[in-house]
Structure 1
Amino acid sequence: MGIDKRTHDREFVRTFFTTPTAEKGVEDSAKKLRGGIGLRGMQAPDVWVPDNEDATAPSMRGEGAENIAKVVAEGGADFPGEIHPRVVWHRDDPETRYEGFEQMLTIADPERGAIDHIDGFVIPEVGDIDDWKKADEFFTLVETEYGLAEGSLAMSVIVESGAAEQAMTKLRDEMGKPTNNLQRLFMLVIGEVDYTKDMRAITPTGSLPSWDEIRHNTSSAASAAGLISVDGPYDDIRDIEGYHERMTDNQSKGLLGIWSLTPTQVVEANKGPLPPEDGYWLIEAGDREVKLEDDDGVQVYRGDRIGLEETDDGYVLTVGGDRLELDDDGVREELLDLVSYVPSMGDIVDSMEEFEAAKEAGRGAIAMTQAATLRIDGVEVDVERDRMWDEATYQALMVPISLFQDVYENRPDQHEELAAMYSEDVVERAMDVGN
């Protein structure tokens, strides 16, 4: 089995959105489920997770499983994403594992009418690889009980312990063995709150550690096993800038999906991994990168960390506490080290089409030029750099294009919003690149 290749229809998941399944003391205990299944466009997640575990009180979980079946039966056919309910499970508790099995039986019962719209289940609190196999066996039993095709229900796990983190390293050896159906695995999702508890980690403020290692390890394991990796929740739901920073850092690790707690976060996470509508320039100003302001084609820096003065002999460039006296070539070289360009979707498509044309003409590599006029303290300097494009560069830039193509193919409800973001022409050309 080629486990380096994706084994499910979706190649990317941007958004993993959880919803409580039952609430006590309200007229309709399934009200939030009805709201979740009614989401459309950028507000609708790629994967919707009716959450019958942490988001639902233990006393309401029996009713929650029934609510999932009822709501999905009524509205699942029209939901634009995938539906993967989370059931209860725990590596150290057989009773909890059996309760999760019973929840799956309730939700998947064909007589309830939901199973045609259920793509799989999410299993929390898994332990070592044998525990993953126990969960897989319950999936097989559910499929057998209801005459479903073996492996038709996808299994996703939430990595919330050191044992689960270690188990991820064994997936390549275990998947495909005749003694299990672990090929059904779909997503590896980070559950950093319980992971912090399991690791007995302490921070002075009581906040969660950044856990860069588990984020890297989950992304690496997903890549090695042909799965999809998803980061855990960002619980400061008002901090949109912090959410974006988290997603940007994740994307540099190949971790393109993230847990979303609100419809607002869903919108941000749906758009976050996609190339921007317009390209822009960044400049390193101290310990952060600052977006330059576009003033009729001139890229303007308005901060106070960088200064530029023109003299009779050339320029004086001030960066923080450093003062550099430079000639024309020297100032261009220093500024090129400070700036970088973030390409738009249109820029990426233009470059890929140009490389495809060059390759068709028999050239294996071409130079792509990026140029800008920078203005700092009223002084303007023209800079440009050439980047060599070869097949490896082309394939690396196919990742955001492949993501866009996957989104466009799987989320027709977002077509209008994507066309409004990029224009019909760019969308059409992006869908043709690489084909």
Structure 2
Amino acid sequence: MKKIAILGSTGSIGTSTLSICESFPDRYLPIALAAGTNLEVAFAQAVQWRPQLLSIATEELADTLRQRLSAEGITGIEIVWGTPGTVAVATHPAVEFVVSAIVGVSGLEATYAAVQAGKTIGLANKECLVAAGDLIISAAREKNVALLPIDSEHNAVHQCMRGGAANEVKQVWLTASGGPFRNTPATDFAAITPAQALKHPTWVMGQRITIDSATMMNKGFEVIEACRLFDLPPAQVRVTVHPQSTVHSLVEFIDGSILAQISVTDMRLPILYALAYPERPASNLTFDLASLSHLDFAQPDLARFPCLRLAYEAAAASQASCIALNAADEIAVAAFLAHQIPFLGIPATIERVLELTPAARPASIPDVLAADRAARVCAAEVIAGRA
């Protein structure tokens, strides 16, 4: 029985992880959960799973949750809150495996603490490696901690990498659906609305990641994450537009062989792979081979999707640039959703923030968080026209 902690238990990855726990009750037991602000879902998870420890976003929510559990006669669950609570969940002494699925840099401190505590990590938070990849990878090597990717593309690369040695890899290919504007004329981009950008053709996701898919920034973050996870330079991490989203990634070896990972578009499969690694337990997540009748691949247009270009440039520049890339994108996406800037204002804001960011390599997590805050202020000033 593997005892697990879930950072972001009320989100899509968190609930999918709990679904895997339901399907494999003899294998996985969630004993520590870190929720966000969704009190109702956190309460339901506490009632169903009776974890030893549950963290929620604020002290007020923690008090309310304690009262509700007490009214139901449920005891034995320690309720904590905020970042210290999330860190406590990630470092719970009995936990063996931590699923890191908090969106953004909010989960950075807890994920780093879990690595320092020697926990195996199932990583679904790409922003952790974008903002602090050097520190996390270095700590993981020092503590001999496995970082197992849950993002479907990196999970696919991890699976394909088992087909050869690291020095036999020529390059990896991350597939991208192309988002809702894959075939939209570039002349129409200036008029794209938030409602249009939130209509993803394949996946149902949160608002920020859906907009990031529309700009292809999400794929840019994945390029940086792949560089960190697989110790590759940006030039060896390629992107190909694959609208069917059937092939999740490919690994090309120096002898010319290319291995591709194909599966259903269901996040439970990469979660199960990470939880069970190196085993492959039987599941009902089967794939219909008849759907392979048509597969398309195309080179992404960096002129139409400059966010992907900016991500490659940040990856080649410095860790500070990667921090600024993520922070500026989050501020710009929020401004776009609030109708404060147009769709093309997202890459324009990010590019300006990158121009204003000096090269640096933060030496600690507090340094990373300070750089993140500075980049957010800079992005807000750019949007306000004050930079």
Higher share of residues assigned strand: 1
State if a TM-score over 0.5 links the two structures: no
TM-score (normalizing by structure 2): 0.29
Which of 1 and 2 has greater Rg? Answer: 1
Higher share of residues assigned helix: 2
